[in-house]
């Protein structure tokens, strides 16, 4: 029997936003945090860009057209509804994390003042059980049309945190395919990896199990959902967006893999919900017996990784 300290109860909150409405989406996030907390979970994770929503309009409304009034209007609305951490937009989520002594990992669109206040970053926010912002990881490279609205991040958020026996880290969407950011987290001792996604089974069903086997870690994939009915009626240019939209734009795929690649929670598709499981750190230790990518099976005398964790800015102020 493994000691009780080896166990951790985790949750995946698979939900749709109230699209491009920060306050209503955060209210829904808080309700899901409470559901996880009432079930005794010690960590709950939400999908990429959930607050206030993924920029689905880009591929539906000719997003690459230069100087388009449609794109300017939608981008301005996105800026208005984005998360400003300095303004306390996540305050209620932090308070609930503290109440339930639970880690909350949530994907937001961040509008940081220290980068001028008018550019957007796809961010993973790690909130500690003390209700504090542990770190904010800004997506290193937006994917494809995302680059039309999101800015590239930096290495500042390549960090991990202790949680019981576990060490928790995370990446956003296709970053999970990038070998070097994964290696950076492995080297920091990660053994519970949280992967945030906008929501599609085609992403989570393969990479989740692959990362688990590669890192000999638990891998939790938290995606969102998006349906036509999740577009509020007051969305700018809604008719143009819906004209080309499928009924289901993001189908979820929430799942959790064990360190040997077997499913703890098989991919959940098409429905909102809070999916929970108890994980056992002894399984990590057992799988590291034959492979530890940053320990006994590494060769730092042959290959090493350099990580720049400086928060990037165009402004350097000398004393």
Any idea which residues carry the catalytic annotation? 48, 139, 173
Residues 141 and 166: their CA atoms lie apart, in Å, by 28
CA distances (Å), origin 246, targets 123, 240, 318: 26, 13, 52
* Measured distance CA(106)–CA(94) in Å, rounded: 11
Residue 250: in which H helix or E strand, if any?
A: strand 248-257
Element (H, E) at 23: helix 22-38
Burial of 123 (0-12, 13-18, 19+ CB in 10 A): buried
Instruction: Report the first-to-last Cα separation within the chain, whole angstroms.
Output: 57
C-alpha radius of gyration, the chain, whole number: 19
Strands 7-14 and 248-257, bridge-based pairing: unpaired
Cα separation of 11 and 176, whole Å? 20
Burial 54-84 (b: 16+ CB within 10 A, else e): bbbbbebbebeeeeeebbeebbebbeebbbe
- Could you give the maximum distance between any two Cα atoms of the chain, in Å? 64
Q: Tell me the C-alpha distance between 257 and 212, whole Å.
A: 6
Residue 145's Cβ-count burial label (10 Å; 0-12, 13-18, 19+) is middle
What DSSP element (H or E) covers 229?
Answer: none
């Amino acid at each position: 029997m493994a000691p009780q300290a080896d166990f951790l109860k985790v949750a995946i909150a698979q939900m749709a936003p109230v699209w491009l409405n920060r306050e209503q989406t955060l209210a829904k996030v808080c309700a899901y945090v409470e559901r996880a907390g009432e079930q005794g979970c010690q960590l709950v994770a939400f999908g990429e860009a959930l607050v206030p929503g993924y920029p689905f309009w880009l591929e539906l409304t000719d997003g690459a057209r230069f100087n388009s009034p449609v794109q300017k209007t939608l981008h301005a609305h996105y800026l208005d509804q984005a998360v400003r951490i300095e303004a306390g937009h996540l305050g209620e989520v932090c308070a609930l994390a503290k109440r339930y002594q639970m880690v909350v990992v949530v994907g937001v669109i961040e509008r940081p003042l220290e980068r001028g206040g008018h550019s957007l970053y796809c961010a993973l926010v790690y909130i500690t059980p003390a209700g504090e912002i542990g770190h904010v990881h800004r997506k290193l490279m937006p994917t494809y049309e995302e680059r039309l609205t999101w800015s590239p991040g930096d290495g500042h958020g390549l960090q991990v945190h202790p949680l019981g026996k576990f060490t928790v880290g995370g990446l956003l969407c296709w970053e999970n395919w990038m070998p070097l950011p994964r290696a950076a987290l492995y080297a920091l001792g990660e053994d519970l990896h949280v992967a945030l996604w906008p929501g599609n089974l085609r992403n989570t069903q393969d990479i989740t199990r692959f990362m688990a086997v590669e890192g000999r870690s638990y891998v939790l994939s938290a995606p969102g959902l998006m349906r036509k009915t999740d577009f509020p009626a007051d969305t700018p240019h809604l008719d143009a967006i819906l004209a080309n939209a499928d009924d289901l734009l993001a189908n979820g795929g929430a799942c959790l893999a064990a360190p040997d690649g077997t499913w703890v929670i098989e991919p959940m598709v098409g429905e909102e919900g809070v999916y929970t499981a108890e994980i056992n750190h002894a399984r990590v230790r057992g799988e590291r017996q034959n492979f530890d990518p940053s320990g006994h099976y590494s060769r730092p005398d042959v290959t090493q990784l350099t990580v720049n964790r400086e928060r990037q800015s165009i402004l350097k102020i000398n004393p």
